[in-house]
Structure 1
Amino acid sequence: MINAVMNPDVKTTATERSIHLQEWLKPWLNRSPIPLTPVAGDASFRRYFRVEAADSRKGTSLILMDAPPDKENSERFLQLARAWQPLGIRVPTVHQACTQLGAALLEDFGDQQLMQAVREEDPASASPFYHQALQQLAHLQVQATHCPTAASLPNYDEALLQREMDLFDDWLLGQLLKLPDHDRPDGWTAFRQSLVDSALEQPRVVVHRDYHSRNLMLLPDHQLGILDFQDAVIGPCTYDAVSLIRDCYLMWPEAIQDQWQEQARQLHCRNFETIHATDWQRWFDLMGMQRHLKAAGIFARLWLRDGKAGYLKDIPRTLQHLQHALARHSEFQPISQWLHNQLMPQLEIQLDSLLNTPA
């Protein structure tokens, strides 16, 4: 029975897939079949289920990752988890995996995300968590960059940086707001190119590429468990720090953001090469602009293509991060004015219509 689902040409129903997964799990279970408890997922087609400790032969709870191979490729996640975990990078242990089935049995990092442990109205209490997250990021960058698997990672090159920004043009501007191609601010192409140029001139390290409060889990040993690293690349040294500090799901006061990014710079200087604060600030700001364009486009696509409406409410905050960064750089004033005077009002009207219309 299980061989059928391993054949990509054989389509299976959800019930059949559940049976295959239960069969695959049997060696790890005290009884079979067992109820599988869904746990929080992500923006992909992967699903996660908890095997409770009472049902597990290990005596501890485990996480079943269900990643149908016709929709998700789990090989990079498994490769990196197995390579990074012995280096002290706090990623989940892989107990068992089958890429043909698209399943893996992982260490359980629990349910508490960093996002749930901090409050925007109390940034001082969040600082210890962010200092920890930045310390662990620095460790990841040092260890993973010098790990043999780094040679197999894609480069965060110009083509990829531009494709990511195309998501903003295509999905948010074109599909969500229905803006024609000519309705862009003066200098839009040059602006995008400046973000690419800034990214490419930075020192290169391993980049997690989605290092933020929803992918960091609070663990009993006071470490932060790191998830969702399968899209890692070799790329700009500021990328993961800006992803964490200017998180699409949180908005911290600029003063504390500046404190955290200075910690990130000092950690980089200690572990790699010295970067002047002025250079770091510009790289950090422009890297954030590129990421927030990409993220806003992805959030629009998640609604339009995948029917995931929950991410629509994150678009305004993501573009607020973009606005704040643009305000620091006078050469981008036309972009800033277009965003403030044209795009944001149109977006507000569209989101109000979508979010407040009865289903």
Structure 2
Amino acid sequence: MQRESELKKWLHTCYPQQDFVLSFAAADADFRRYFRAVFKDNHSVICMDAPPDKMSIQPYIKVQHLFQAINVPKIYHADVQKGFMALEDFGHTPYLAALLQDKRPEVHKILLLEAVDELITLQKASLPDQLPIYDETVMTREMQLFPEWYVQKELGLSLTEKQQHLWQQAVSAVLPAILAQPKVYVHRDYIVRNIMLTRDRPGILDFQDALYGPITYDLVSLLRDAFIEWDEEFILDIVIRYWEKARAAGLPVHNDFDHFYRDFELMGVQRHLKVAGIFARLYYRDGKDKYRSEIHRFLKYLRKTSRRYHELRPLLQLITELIGAEEIQTGYTF
């Protein structure tokens, strides 16, 4: 309540002699909260509350400037010391809500291809030396969240010496392949909850953790989601369309689609392991249970992918030993 009161006072200084009604809009997995201020003339702004003792809004401001090629919220007012921002309001309908409301595949394809177009626009605008590198240290630390939080906390297990060897084999199979990918701006959370349905083009949110890294990362984030799932044929179709559009745009994707799809899949393994660990950490460390029930979806993704590639058999064996076997469709094999 104290932060909300401080936010109201700050807004009154930004918009003097303008009455508004402030209401809660959303909360992130970290410490940020969002409020909507609606003024008498019905125009509105989104207010970010990022407690400065927990985090800084400076990364958001920097990335917002770098991401001007795509539809990101305008920053109307910002106070780094207080941790407040007033942002353009993209409305009430995230992609996730629109996709869940209208389940027709043709509608999903239209929306996702619009998101793909926005992603390609962002990637075309990429420049080196503007963002930190999404390097081996960061990726390894992220993957390590799986044994540290999912295995140890969620399963209550410790990897045996044999299982640790399987884990290292899996890491060694994945990291070189994804680190070798061409690098672009990586949003790092390009998911349907962070894409807003707006009048002209998708509105992109929650980009403050962006890095410069593998070209397939954001496409994986978009298509292997935590809260909605598509069948393999549908995903393959969208990936092919991205690949065709990316090549036409001059982006450095591999000329052979099978090679590109393998890059996409191996990048997914890194992200799935990370997200499973993060969701477990959110529950056991932060007391947030909103995401815990979705861990199973990332385990399903991991099973499917590790069955398709010989170099990922150690990962499949490890997952089977930890949580048991599960018969599923394997889809396409390479």
Above 0.5 in TM-score? yes
1:75 aligns with 2:58: yes
Question: Is the Cα–Cα contact under 8 Å of residues 186 and 335 in structure 1 kept in the other structure?
Answer: no
Task: State the AA in 2 paired with 1:134.
Answer: V
1:128 aligns with 2:110: yes
1:43 aligns with 2:23: no
Ranked by relative contact order (alpha carbons within 8 Å, sequence separation 6 or more), the top structure is 2
In structure 2, the partner of 1:339 is: 319
TM-score under structure 2 normalisation?
0.90
1:318 aligns with 2:301: no
- Give the 3 Å change call, closer, same or farther, for CA 274–232 of structure 1 in structure 2: closer
Match of 1:52 among 38, 51, 62: 38
Structure 1 unaligned spans of 5+: 1-13, 347-359
State how far apart, in whole Å, the 1-side matches of 2:308 and 2:28 are.
Answer: 32
Match of 1:199 among 174, 178, 184: 178
Match of 1:180 among 155, 158, 161: 158
Three-state SS of the structure 1 residue aligned to 2:192 is: coil
Three-state SS of the structure 2 residue aligned to 1:209 is: coil
State how far apart, in whole Å, the 2-side matches of 1:345 and 1:53 are.
Answer: 56
Match of 2:259 among 256, 274, 279: 279
**Ranges of 4+ aligned residues in structure 1 off by more than 3 Å:** 27-35, 119-122
In the TM superposition, 1:72-111 aligns within 5 A as 72-85=55-68, 87=69, 89-111=70-92
Question: Is the Cα–Cα contact under 8 Å of residues 167 and 318 in structure 2 kept in the other structure?
Answer: no
RMSD: 2.1
Deviation at 1:94, TM superposition (A): 0.1
Structure 1 stretch displaced more, 300-309 or 23-32 = 23-32
Deviation at 1:138, TM superposition (A): 0.1
In the TM superposition, 1:263-278 aligns within 5 A as 263-270=241-248, 271-275=250-254, 276-278=256-258
- Counting aligned pairs with the same residue, the percent is 37
- Give the 3 Å change call, closer, same or farther, for CA 344–304 of structure 1 in structure 2: farther
Structure 1 stretch displaced more, 30-39 or 269-278 = 30-39
1:170 aligns with 2:130: no
Deviation at 1:281, TM superposition (A): 1.3
Question: Is the Cα–Cα contact under 8 Å of residues 185 and 335 in structure 1 kept in the other structure?
Answer: no
In the TM superposition, 1:285-304 aligns within 5 A as 285-304=265-284
Question: Is the Cα–Cα contact under 8 Å of residues 67 and 103 in structure 1 kept in the other structure?
Answer: yes
Match of 1:114 among 91, 95, 99: 95
State how far apart, in whole Å, the 1-side matches of 2:55 and 2:98 are.
Answer: 30
- Give the 3 Å change call, closer, same or farther, for CA 84–333 of structure 1 in structure 2: closer
TM-score under structure 1 normalisation?
0.84
Question: Is the Cα–Cα contact under 8 Å of residues 120 and 246 in structure 2 kept in the other structure?
Answer: yes
Deviation at 1:176, TM superposition (A): 1.9
